[in-house]
Amino acid sequence: MLDGGSQADAEITDAGIGLQPPPDCDPIQVINSSFEDPILADNFFTFPSNCDVDQTNAIASSDPVPGWDTASDSLSGVVNPTLSQLQVSSGANVAYLNSPAGNCLSQPEISQTLTATVEAGYDYWLLVDIGYPSFFPIARGYRIILESDGGVIALDIDSAVTAIGSQATATASGRVNAGDPRVGEFLRVRLSVPDLPDPAQTDFDNVRLCKSAY
């Protein structure tokens, strides 16, 4: 069991694949959780407008992942993959985080600060569908993180194993105990990838967050 803050106050209780929150878990809203905004034609994708991307199916945008914070100098956005590229579990689109390239060299991640705040007495559950498109030969890896300004509440790193071109659900859960100094802080979901030198891409979809009283 890892410490998600003070050892007495917060615990990262579990992480991985195949875990499920209890049936009475209360949903917490995540904006554009399945990345269906914007609407895209097959094989089209968005990217930060100051990145050098020269493809006819690329759409430059100052807001490449609506509802989410992105770095202006990292290759991240929304893509509508074809069925041969990726079997998508929810809707048509996914968010992608790509290897640094060209003039976009920051390590990519996206995050969203929610209107919901940290509450004591709850287990928090974060579930995200992870995929690797067929046009890259390696599974790059991922990190899904639930946090606040005070630190990590729940995280999962590379526990969801899926074949290239398909998706699997990654799950992270964490418990917030009475006395946790982060109570009252805004929750934040952060999706990221490790720093690898080889070209690769990780896709994220169907972000779900809920809390259950313990």
214 residues of the chain, pLDDT tens digit each: 233 344 335 565 555 556 789 999 999 999 999 999 999 999 999 999 989 898 999 999 999 999 999 988 888 999 999 999 999 999 999 999 998 877 888 778 999 999 999 999 999 999 999 999 998 878 889 999 999 999 999 999 999 988 999 999 999 999 999 999 999 999 999 999 987 667 889 999 999 999 999 9
Q: Which residues fall within 8 angstroms of residue 15, CB to CB, at 6 or more apart?
A: 154, 155, 156, 157, 159, 170, 171, 172, 173
The Cα-based distances of 105 to 8, 77, 200 in angstroms read 39, 15, 14
Distance CA 133, CA 139 (A): 9
Cis amide linkage into residue 38, ω under 30° from 0: yes
- Based on the structure, what is the number of domains in the chain? 1
- What pLDDT, on the 0 to 100 scale, is given for residue 115? 98
Query: pLDDT value at position 11?
Result: 63
The confidence score (pLDDT) of residue 1 equals 24
pTM of structure = 0.91
Q: What is the model's pLDDT at position 195? A: 74
Q: Do the Cβ atoms of 12 and 153 come closer than 8 Å?
A: yes
Q: Which domain holds residue 180?
A: 2-213
Q: Note the pLDDT of residue 167.
A: 95
Give residue 108's pLDDT: 86
Query: What CATH number should be reported for the domain holding residue 127?
Result: 2.60.120.260
Alpha carbons 178 and 180: distance in angstroms, whole number:
6
**pLDDT at residue number 16:** 56
Element (H, E) at 16: strand 10-17
How high is the pLDDT of residue 5? 40
Give the model's pLDDT for residue 102: 78
Give the model's pLDDT for residue 13. Answer: 52
Query: Quick one: pLDDT at residue 17?
Result: 55
Q: What was the pLDDT predicted at 212?
A: 98
Locate tokens 């969203």: which residue? 112
